[in-house]
């Protein structure tokens, strides 16, 4: 016999379980729920990768596809960098590396940043991260508390809003405008800035290929100062400048103590898979970020850091070699697009992408991209994958061999012209 109290408590528990809206699996047991933070990363919408996934499935099914989707170099990491990585590994730099990054690499990054921007920078201002994406996550962790408003600009790289949600911030998108060539207006940012904690920008910009002008960046800086906002500046494409100049907002008056800069080896040195990036910012923030890294990533493998240090010390000649194919293909694209009137090119000032305006076809970017994939097995990214400001556009990655790139772009333009003629008849 069990005590009466036990029986009553069991009965009460049984009734509570029967009446409560608890989830059960098919075997009759309780289903554990994942956190709201992780289940709401996409904000209830698409992740933007639908066309890309369709193209990859076609390839898996044996159907050839010309991929102009992701920012992956068609060349691989240079042999000397890999040889130095191998040397470092064979010499034993395979154990736990210093969590903030090796002193050697942090010094080299600091010197690179100071040389390029003129802003005094030491290793105390630098933390090495497992790639630029980790740096974006860490930077927002550094400045945003739960439910803080975190601003970002549309069009945006596809992971931005999810990154903000991952730190329990409240994302607030500010649209740029096609008629401004997607240069942000300071007044539009200022209209949303009251009470916000941070603003995330990206120049040279993915997906548009636009390089923010000095006037644009000075306007952004003033909004941040006036509203006491942290600026997080994603500068991973800083070596891919075709027109104008790259200006780091950390170098603008009043911005050194309120700016966190994200950098990466991925684009500048074709080291996408090596996952080596960094954050540059005020010393006290970097100290806290080191604590965060100690409790999350625990640093970047030492042999990869050694290879990154070697790569940076090869100087601008290597960076220009890595960037050269995109500069060349941009010229090819401008020549192709100049010979037709259906597809318009957003000013391609930097980065490895072209943003093409296909609104004359009457299709959305998503419908156009899907139709192009079906008709010609050419995969591009819809503008809508990067927000709503670029609706009616598609992003083209300049990441295949010159001749194939030229032919794919000609086919895209011919396809758009066919759709436009159909639209007008």
Report the top-level CATH class of 50-75+317-419: alpha beta
Instruction: Out of 29-38, 198-207, 413-422, pick the least confident.
Output: 29-38
DSSP element (H, E) containing 129: strand 126-129
pLDDT value, residue 18: 44
pLDDT value, residue 422: 74
57-60 contacts at long range (C-beta below 8 A, 24 or more positions apart): 58/373, 58/377
pLDDT band with cut points at 50, 70 and 90 for residue 30: confident
Q: DSSP letters along 341-361, please?
A: SSSEE----BSSEEEEE-GGG
**Which residues on adjacent β-strands are paired with residue 280?**
126, 261
pLDDT at 270 over 80: yes
pLDDT at 299 over 60: yes
pLDDT value, residue 43: 86
CB 221 within 8 A of CB 249: yes
CB 95 within 8 A of CB 302: yes
What residues does each domain of the chain span? 50-75+317-419, 95-314
CB 175 within 8 A of CB 183: no
Average pLDDT over residues 297-311: 98
pLDDT value, residue 15: 43
Going from the C-alpha of 424 to that of each of 172, 360, 367, 400, the distances in angstroms are 38, 10, 18, 33
Question: How far is it, in rounded angstroms, from Cα 214 to Cα 181?
Answer: 15
pLDDT at 1 over 60: no
pLDDT band with cut points at 50, 70 and 90 for residue 56: very high
User: What burial class does residue 417 get, using C-beta atoms within 10 Å of its C-beta: 0-12 exposed, 13-18 middle, 19+ buried?
Assistant: middle
pLDDT band with cut points at 50, 70 and 90 for residue 383: very high
Average pLDDT over residues 94-109: 98
pLDDT value, residue 372: 98
pLDDT at 424 over 50: yes
Residue 106 phi, psi dihedral angles, 5° rounding: -60, -40
pLDDT value, residue 423: 66
Question: What is the rounded average pLDDT for all residues in the chain?
Answer: 93
pLDDT value, residue 19: 46
pLDDT band with cut points at 50, 70 and 90 for residue 272: very high
Residue 339 CB coordination number (10 Å): 8
Q: DSSP letters along 359-417, please?
A: GGGT--HHHHHHHHHHHH-EEEEEGGGG-STTTTEEEEE--S-HHHHHHHHHHHHHHHH
Residue predicted with more confidence, 424 or 2: 424
Instruction: Out of 20-24, 119-123, 236-240, pick the least confident.
Output: 20-24
Q: How does pLDDT run across 183-207, given as a tens digit for each residue?
A: 999 999 999 999 999 999 999 999 9
Question: How far is it, in rounded angstroms, from Cα 417 to Cα 423?
Answer: 10
pLDDT value, residue 135: 98
Instruction: Out of 19-23, 296-300, 384-388, pick the least confident.
Output: 19-23
Work out the percent of the chain whose per-residue pLDDT is above 90: 88
Domain 95-314: give its CATH code: 3.40.640.10
pLDDT band with cut points at 50, 70 and 90 for residue 47: confident
Average pLDDT over residues 48-52: 89
pLDDT at 6 over 60: no
Average pLDDT over residues 367-389: 97
């Amino acid at each position: 016999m069990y005590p009466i109290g036990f029986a009553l408590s069991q009965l009460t528990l049984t009734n509570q379980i029967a009446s409560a809206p608890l989830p059960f699996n098919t075997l009759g047991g309780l289903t554990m729920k994942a956190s709201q933070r992780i289940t709401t990363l996409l904000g209830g919408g698409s992740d933007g990768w639908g066309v890309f996934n369709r193209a990859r499935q076609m390839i898996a099914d044996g159907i050839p596809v010309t991929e102009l989707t992701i920012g992956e170099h068609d060349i691989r990491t240079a042999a000397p960098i890999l040889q130095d990585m191998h040397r470092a590994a064979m010499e034993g730099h395979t154990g736990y590396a210093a969590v903030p990054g090796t002193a050697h690499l942090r010094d080299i990054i600091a010197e690179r940043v100071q040389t390029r921007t003129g802003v005094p920078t030491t290793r105390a201002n630098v933390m090495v991260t497992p790639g630029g994406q980790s740096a974006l996550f860490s930077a927002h962790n550094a400045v945003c508390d739960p439910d803080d408003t975190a601003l970002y600009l549309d069009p945006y790289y596809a992971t931005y809003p999810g990154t903000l949600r991952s730190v329990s911030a409240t994302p607030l998108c500010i649209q740029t405008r096609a008629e401004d060539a997607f240069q942000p207006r300071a007044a539009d940012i200022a209209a949303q800035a009251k009470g916000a904690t941070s603003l995330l920008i990206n120049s040279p910009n993915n997906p548009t290929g636009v390089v923010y002008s000095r006037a644009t960046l000075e306007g952004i800086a003033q909004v941040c100062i006036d509203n006491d906002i942290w600026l997080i500046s994603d500068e991973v494409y800083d070596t891919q400048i075709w027109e104008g100049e790259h200006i780091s907002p950390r170098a603008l008056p009043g911005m050194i103590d309120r700016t966190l800069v994200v950098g990466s080896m991925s684009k500048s040195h074709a080291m996408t898979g090596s996952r080596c990036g960094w954050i540059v910012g005020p010393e006290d923030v970097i100290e806290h970020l080191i604590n965060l890294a100690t409790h999350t990533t625990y640093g970047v493998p030492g042999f990869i850091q050694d290879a990154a240090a070697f790569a940076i010390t090869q100087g601008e000649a290597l960076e220009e070699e890595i960037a050269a194919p995109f500069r060349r293909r941009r010229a090819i694209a401008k020549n192709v697009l100049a010979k037709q009137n259906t597809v318009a090119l957003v000013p391609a000032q930097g980065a490895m992408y072209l943003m093409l305006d296909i609104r004359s076809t009457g299709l959305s970017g998503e419908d156009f991209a899907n139709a192009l994939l079906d008709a010609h097995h050419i995969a591009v990214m819809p503008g809508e994958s990067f927000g709503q400001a670029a609706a009616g556009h598609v992003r083209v990655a300049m990441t295949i061999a010159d001749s194939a790139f030229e032919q794919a772009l000609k086919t895209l333009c011919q396809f758009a012209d066919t759709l436009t003629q159909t639209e007008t008849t």
